[in-house]
Amino acid sequence: MSRFPASIENLIQEFKKLPGIGEKTAERFVFHLLGRGREAAVRLGDAIFALERSIIICARCRSVSEADPCRICRDPSRRDDELCIVADQQGLSAIERTGSYKGKYFVLGGLLSPIEGVTPETLGIDALDQRLQGGSVRELLLAVNPTIEGEATMAYLSRRYAASLPRVTRLARGLPRGADLEYADEVTLSDALVGRREMK
| Tens-digit pLDDT profile for residues 45-77 | 999 998 889 999 999 999 999 999 999 999 999
Tell me the one-letter amino acid at 145: N
Describe the crossing of helices 6-16 and 23-36 by its angle, rounded to 10 degrees. Answer: 130
User: What does the alpha-carbon distance between residue 8 and residue 27 come to, in Å, rounded to a whole number?
Assistant: 9
Q: Supply angle C-alpha 23, 179, 109, rounded to 5.
A: 75
CA distance 133 to 113: 26
Q: Give the number of domains in the chain.
A: 2
* Best CA proximity match to 87, nearest among 152, 134, 132, 21: 152
The phi-psi region of residue 179 (left if phi > 0; otherwise alpha if psi is between -120 and 50; otherwise beta) is beta
126 within a domain of the structure (yes/no): yes
| pLDDT at residue 187 in the model | 66
CA distance linking residue 48 with residue 71, whole number of Å: 22
Residue 36 and residue 76 in one domain: no
CATH code, domain carrying 40: 1.10.8.420
1 is a domain residue? no
Residue 119 placed within a domain: yes
The answer as to whether 171 is a domain residue is yes
The domain of 18 spans: 6-54
- Exposure string of 58-94, with b = 16+ CB inside 10 Å and e = fewer, is bebbbbebeeeebebbeeeeeeeebbbbbbbbebbeb
CATH classification at residue 184: 3.40.1360.10
Q: Are 122 and 162 in contact (CB under 8 A)?
A: no
- In tens, the pLDDT along 88-124 reads 999 999 999 999 999 999 999 999 998 899 999 888 8
68 and 47 in a single domain? The answer is no
Cβ-based neighbours of 24, under 8 Å, separated by 6 or more: none
Do 29 and 89 lie in one domain? The reply is no
% pLDDT > 90, the chain: 70
Same domain, 99 and 41: no
In a domain, 82, yes or no: yes
Same domain, 112 and 23: no
Q: What are the backbone angles phi and psi of residue 142, rounded to the nearest 5°?
A: -90, 110
Q: Are residues 30 and 90 in the same domain?
A: no
Q: Between 52 and 157, whose confidence is greater?
A: 157
Q: Which three-class secondary structure string do you get for 30-50?
A: HHHHHHHCHHHHHHHHHHHHH
> Quick check: is 117 in a domain?
yes
Q: Are residues 91 and 159 in the same domain?
A: yes
Same domain, 141 and 186: yes
